[in-house]
Structure 1
Amino acid sequence: MRNVTTGLSVVAILFSGAIFGFFYAWVCSTMWGLDQTDPRVAIEAMQAMNASVRNAVFFPAFFLTPVVLALTAYMIWVQGQKAPAFWIAAGAAIYLMFGLILTMAVNVPMNEALALVSVPEEIEAAEAIWSEYSSRWQFWNQTRTAASGVALALAGYGIARLRTD
């Protein structure tokens, strides 16, 4: 059972780190870069990125992180290590609520609405669309980034507290 728990712990940290890094990259480079470009280009680029993100590489980190964290916590709890299991389960709950569910409830509908927008030829019209979208989208992305970082930290803390005897 120890080998299973070790494997799950590694996957839990890997998935948690991957999704935190994914959201973090949007915070510190992607959106800032799009905000600096022609808003017509920003709209088209965001539409393309949103269309491409639904793929097999993104799926495990985005959808399976809370599952792997919860399963890891359960396996550790069954082994009698309640405190480490609690921290990992807390990470799972935080990511589930403020990472996955928040994304599905806020960012995805915003992305779907942007996908329906025809990019206007007039830069002023594009600027109005982009600035409204970008500021709101970034707020919620920063929220899910922070939550994902907290989930990763909690999982790491829980794993670090595991007894090896």
Structure 2
Amino acid sequence: MSVVFSGAIFGFFYAWICSTMWGLDATDPRVAIQAMQAMNGSVRNAVFAPAFFGTPFVLWIAALLAWRTLRNRAALAFAVGGLIYAAGGLILTMTNNVPMNEALGLLTVPTDIDAARAIWVEYSGTWQVYNVMRTVFSGLTLALAGYGMMRL
């Protein structure tokens, strides 16, 4: 489960980098704002929550089980992976991306394309910086989970 959860959340964040945000950046900013508001509203669901919130706990359980069977390298990899995701994925998202998403969600989409473009450019650039960071941290988490599995 540690590799599955880590891979799911890494893939989720990665998809935003290489397709979703590029597509939104290429469209009318009024449409981009509306689409992002809709996606942010729909992501809070029972399918997404286990990978987003559960990944560090699955890794820490794997670390405990590996440690109890004297697989110390595996235990360390799982434990560090859980810490990296907790800080660089979960907490980073909750303190940066989520507040930005909530602020965007409160906006009425401007009818003026230049006003919408100004909002979107400011939002998208900053949001993507944080998304790249959480993707890198999630990728490290996945690599550590894979290493931990190899060491079992």
Give the TM-score range, shorter chain.
Answer: over 0.9
For 2:124, the equivalent position in structure 1 comes to 134
Alignment-derived partner of residue 122 in structure 1: 112
1:116 partner letter? L
Query: Aligned residue pairs: how many?
Result: 152
| Residues 66-107 of structure 1 deviation map (CA, whole Å, 9 limit, x = unaligned) | 000000001100111111100111110000000001000000
2:99 is matched with 109
Tell me, which stretches of 5 or more residues in structure 1 are unaligned? Answer: 1-10
Paired letter, 2:91: I
**Percentage of pairs with the same residue:** 64
Where do 1:55-134 residues align within 5 Å? 55-134=45-124
RMSD, aligned α-carbons: 0.5
- Per-residue CA deviations over 1:22-44 (Å, capped at 9, x if unaligned) read 00000000000000000000000
Structure 1 equivalent of residue 9 of structure 2:
19
TM-score normalized by structure 1?
A: 0.91
Larger Rg: 1
Kindly provide the CA deviation profile for residues 32-65 of structure 1, in whole angstroms up to 9, marking residues without a partner as x: 0000000000000000000000000001100000
Distance (Å, rounded) in 1 between the aligned partners of 2:83 and 2:10? 15
- TM-score, normalised to structure 2, is 0.99
One-letter identity of the residue aligned with 1:22: F
**Which residue in 2 is equivalent to 1:51?**
41
> 1:147-158 maps to which residues of 2 (within 5 A)?
147-158=137-148
